[in-house]
Structure 1
Amino acid sequence: MTIPPDFTPPPGARAYPLRTARGEFAVVDSPVADGVVPRGVALLLPGFTGSKEDFHLLHEPLAARGYRTVAVDGRGQNQSDGPEFDEAPYAREELARDVLAQAAALGTPVHLTGHSLGGQIARAAVLIDHTPFLSFTLVASGPAQISESQRQRVQLLHDALALMTMPEVWEAILAMGPPEEVGGPARGFGELALLRQRWVNHKPAQLLATGRQLLTEPDRVAELAAVPLPFHVLSGARDDTWPVTLLDDMAMDLGAHRTVVAGAEHSPNLDQPMPTAHALADFWDKIRPDSD
Structure 2
Amino acid sequence: MDLAPAPLFDDVAGAPPGGAAWWLRCCDGVRIRIGCWRPDGPAQGTVLLFPGRTEYVEKYGPAAADLAARGFATVVIDWRGQGLADRLVEDPRPGHVERFQDYQRDVEAMIAAATQLDMPQPFHLLAHSMGGCIGLRALIDGAPVQACAFTGPMWGIRMPALLRPMAFGAAYIGPLLGLGARLMPSTKPQNYVETQGFEGNALTGDPQMYALMQAQLAAHPDLGLGGPSLKWMRAALKETADLSRQPAPAQPCVTFLGSCESIVSADAIRNRMSSWPGGQLEMVEGAQHEVMMEGPAIRAHVFDRIAALFSDATSADI
Give the TM interval when normalised to the shorter protein: 0.7 to 0.9
Q: Distance in 2 between matches of 1:148 and 1:114?
A: 22
Matching residue's letter, 2:77: V
Q: What percentage of residue pairs aligned between the two structures are identical?
A: 21
8 A contact 1:76–1:202 mirrored in 2: no
Q: Give matches, 1:164-243, under 5 Å.
A: 169-170=189-190, 177-183=196-202, 190=212, 192-195=214-217, 200-201=222-223, 207-216=229-238, 217-225=240-248, 227-243=249-265
TM-score by length of 2: 0.72
Q: Is the 2:55–2:82 contact (alpha carbons within 8 Å) kept by the matching residues of 1?
A: yes
RMSD: 4.0
Aligned match of 2:280 = 257
Deviation, structure 1 residue 274:
2.1
Contiguous gaps of at least 5 residues in structure 1:
none
Contact 1:85 1:205 (8 Å CA) reproduced: no
2:107 matched residue in structure 1: 99
d(CA) in 2 for partners of 1:147, 1:116: 12
Cross-structure match for 2:73:
68
Counterpart secondary structure, 2:314? coil
CA-to-partner distance for each residue in 1:232-289, whole Å, 9 max, x for gaps? 2222222113354542332121121222223311110111322221121111111027
* Alpha-carbon distance in structure 1 between the residues aligned to 2:162 and 2:305: 29
Paired with 2:102 and 2:197, the residues of 1 have a C-alpha distance of 35
Structure 1 pair 142/192, CA: closer, same or farther in 2 (3 Å)?
closer
Tell me whether 1:146 sits opposite 2:160 in the alignment.
Answer: no
Aligned-pair distance for 1:191?
5.2
Checking the alignment, whether the CA contact within 8 Å between 2:83 and 2:223 is kept in structure 1 is yes
- List gaps (5 residues or longer) in structure 2: 116-120, 175-180, 204-208
Instruction: Give the residue type in structure 1 aligned to 2:21.
Output: Y
Corresponding residue for residue 128 of structure 2: 115
Q: Using a 3 Å threshold, how does the CA distance of structure 1 residues 263 and 53 change in structure 2: closer, same or farther?
A: farther
* Cα distance, 1:67–1:151 mapped onto 2, change above 3 Å: farther
Which secondary structure does the structure 2 equivalent of 1:190 belong to? Answer: helix
The answer to which structure has the higher helix fraction is 1
Preserved CA contact (<8 Å) 2:131 2:154: no
8 Å Cα contact 2:53-2:130 kept in structure 1? yes
Work out which of the residue numbers 271, 283, 290 in structure 1 matches 2:309: 283
Which of 46, 52, 67 is residue 47 of structure 1 equivalent to? 52
- Residue 55 of structure 1 deviates from its aligned partner by 2.3
What corresponds to 2:7 in structure 1? Answer: 3
TM-score of the superposition, structure 1-length normalised?
Answer: 0.77
* 3-state SS of 2:55 partner: coil
Residues 14 and 270 of structure 1, relative CA distance in 2, 3 Å threshold:
same
The counterpart of 2:138, out of the listed 125, 135, 156, is: 125
| Matching residue within 27, 31, 34 for 1:27 | 34
Separation (CA, whole Å) in 2 of partners of 1:3 and 1:80: 11
Which residue, 264, 269, 279 being the options, matches 1:247? 269
Amino acid of the structure 1 residue aligned with 2:7 = I
> What is the CA-CA distance between 1:189 and the residue it aligns to?
6.4
Q: Is the 2:152–2:264 Cα contact (8 Å) retained in structure 1?
A: yes
Secondary structure class of the residue paired with 2:189: helix
Report how many residues are paired.
281
Question: How has the CA–CA distance of structure 1 residues 150 and 60 changed in structure 2, closer, same or farther, with 3 Å as cutoff?
Answer: farther
